[in-house]
Amino acid sequence: MSQRPYVIDEMISAKSIAARIEALSHEIAAEFKDTEQLLVVGLLRGSFVFIADLVRELDLPVEVDFLEVSSYGDGMESSREVRILKDLRGQIEGRDVLVVEDIVDTGFTLSRVVSFLSARDPARLRTIALLDKPSRREVDVTADWTGFVIPDEFVVGYGIDYAQRNRNLPFIGKVRFPDEPQP
Ligand code: PRP
């Protein structure tokens, strides 16, 4: 597949991400300290790295499930139509649920997922996003916990892709196109 050439500049290091996840995991454990079992729901595909690191820091009885949702396809613009491609395996009625998202951009994905899961009457439904780009918001939604608030940059790595590439970078990087005039 031919692609416009781009370079990736490191924006958030693997070490900073790990430190932030450790801090967030204490807050989440405090919130759910009385839970029988917390169901941690990762939104595929972007959250797969984040959820793997987060659950290993969580000192709670945890179960893991995944929802697959998609709004961007291979493009850089949200289609604003969030499709549920794969549902959860189990029931969530009466359960404590934590939704794990990699990034909140326009907010369409998180908002749709929260409505979709709330309709199933979980006991507590909370959300966490590693990254938040509030300047891009079109739907009024904010995760209960956020790792890093970032400016409106195109980011990749730590699970996040550009045309399905770069999800395996251990850090969050900013995509830059050398053929574009710099501001
Ligand atoms: C990306 C990202 C978030 C969502 C955020 O998913 O992983 O889930 O977009 O954008 P929004 O706030 O504008 O809705 P994408 O649809 O690209 O799927 P992927 O996770 O499989 O990469």
Domain boundaries, the chain: 14-150
* pTM to 2 decimal places: 0.94
Give the residue, 49 or 72, on which the prediction is more confident. Answer: 49
pLDDT of residue 72: 66
Tokens coding 182: 């710099």
Q: CATH for 14-150?
A: 3.40.50.2020
pLDDT of residue 80: 76
Q: Whose CA is nearest to atom 3 of ligand 1?
A: 103
Number of Cβ within a 10 Å radius of residue 9: 9
Residue burial 48-86, b: 16+ Cβ < 10 Å; e: rest:
bbbbebbbeebebebeeebbebbbbeeeeebeeebeeee
Task: Based on the residue annotation, tell me whether 105 is a catalytic residue of this protein.
Answer: yes
Q: How far is the CA of 23 from the centre of ligand 1 (A)?
A: 24
- Tell me the per-residue pLDDT of 122-172, one tens digit each, with 9 for 90 and over: 999 999 999 999 999 999 999 999 999 999 999 999 999 999 999 999 999
Mean pLDDT along residues 14-40: 98
Atom number, ligand 1, closest to the C-alpha of residue 160? 22
The catalytic residue among 74, 105, 140, 144 is: 105
Q: Is 55 helix (H, G, I), strand (E, B) or coil?
A: helix
Q: Which of 81, 109, 165 to mutate to test the pocket of ligand 1 (most atoms within 8 A of CB)?
A: 109
Q: Whose CA is nearest to atom 17 of ligand 1?
A: 72
Atom number, ligand 1, closest to the C-alpha of residue 108? 14
- Tell me the per-residue pLDDT of 55-114, one tens digit each, with 9 for 90 and over: 999 999 999 999 999 876 656 666 678 889 999 999 999 999 999 999 999 999 999 999
